[in-house]
Structure 1
Amino acid sequence: MSEYADKKIVITGGSTGFGLETARLLTARGARVLITGRDQGALDAARAELGDRAVAVRSDASSLADIDALADRVRAEFGTIDGLFANAGINGFAPFEATQEDMFDELFAINTKGPYFTAQKLAPLIAPGGGVVLTTSVANALGLPMLSTYGATKAAVRSFARSLARELLPRGIRVNAVSPGPIDSGILAKSMPPEAVEQTKAQMAGENPMGRLGTVDEIARAVAFLLFEATYTTGAELVVDGGGSQL
């Protein structure tokens, strides 16, 4: 398919999960993508899978120096771009009483500072009519146990979608957020003991109105919609959660 032929997209956190699946969808439909990540091995594997339509750049979303370098690389590779999926993020589970400063700071640095300054540095490269999609979470609106800090980082990102949408409107750039609920993305395996992962997934599916977890493909299709199809939508949050936060 060539639906997105000649489109150029940057995806932070693009070597795994939502980011990689979105890169798969976009390259399969003709787009060129630049993906970032912190793990060189994962980046190399993603680049090999995605083929010649992809560029992989090691970049830490919490580092302003890395974000500046990323902007320079994007300019060199693409000149201008048609969209940014600011997706890089981490999870962190801890009860309120046991939350430590180092986890708090890391979550805010990657999940909140990262997308804000990535959007700031790359916005001058986005062509009029282009879009930005930020990854937030249903945890931005729900009081979920063990996720007080994570939820706060994502609530800030939800606010960014509104304020950046207003500020970038004169440049013809739309800014929206995709808000995943319980998605089988592999992130639980990175943040929980192995014995707890399957139990947690079963519990999440049982509590969901649709009775299942979502898939990374369902997130990727939502992102593509916001980037390319939602031409009269800005400042919005597209919730992809099986109705869990709505019903």
Structure 2
Amino acid sequence: MTRILVVEDEQDIASVLLDYLRHAGYEAEHAADGRSALKLMLENPPDLTLLDVMLPHLDGMSVLRQARAHTHHPVIMLTARIEEVDRLLGLELGADDYVCKPFSPREVVARVKAVLRRSAGQAAAASGGGDAIPLLLDDAHWRATLNGVPLNLTRREFGLLQALSRHPGRIFSRARLLELAYDDTADVTERAVDSHVKNLRRKLSAAAPSHDWIRSVYGVGFAFEAPTTSESNA
């Protein structure tokens, strides 16, 4: 059974989340502070952790930072701090998604299912199982093909696609993409990232119109979405 660790110091919120997760068929356990959560995440990693930011003893960002040095299981941040810088910090530290309080427990369960699906797809690709993503990147010549169709990318478009596709499902901020995809950011703005992503979407869609390859996350950035098995077999 899929194990979900709920790290939340407010007992009422934790109880509701545990009930909804168990009703959805998951094995759910609870940690009420950062130190005990980190111990559980390192000694017996769950399949996914729901991690509150404001925790006693050790805050959620510190837990995530230390956990990511040893485990890469999916983590969804739960936060009442809605400032963009806080969302971006969690994502840069390796969070897979975030949910802002107050939230619907049904939304949290839906996010859990979505992140677990993406994680399963990444694991299958890494182990050689399932259907491989039909995207090939030639780093030496800055060339890319999708389903055997040349994408005819510019060098900056190639750099963006390379950065995004290396970590399917991971959300990258525009600022982080500037660092990863551009050799010289002096004359490149975050608005340019939006323009290049738009061009990338158009070229990817022309080669494989049945799938939306790049997901926009409002106020945060972009993520590369590998197709599911059902899409690949369609």
Say yes or no: TM over 0.5.
Answer: no
Higher normalized contact order (CA 8 Å, seq sep 6+, divided by chain length): 1
Which is greater in Rg?
A: 2
TM-score of the superposed pair, with normalisation by structure 1 = 0.40
TM-score of the superposed pair, with normalisation by structure 2 = 0.42
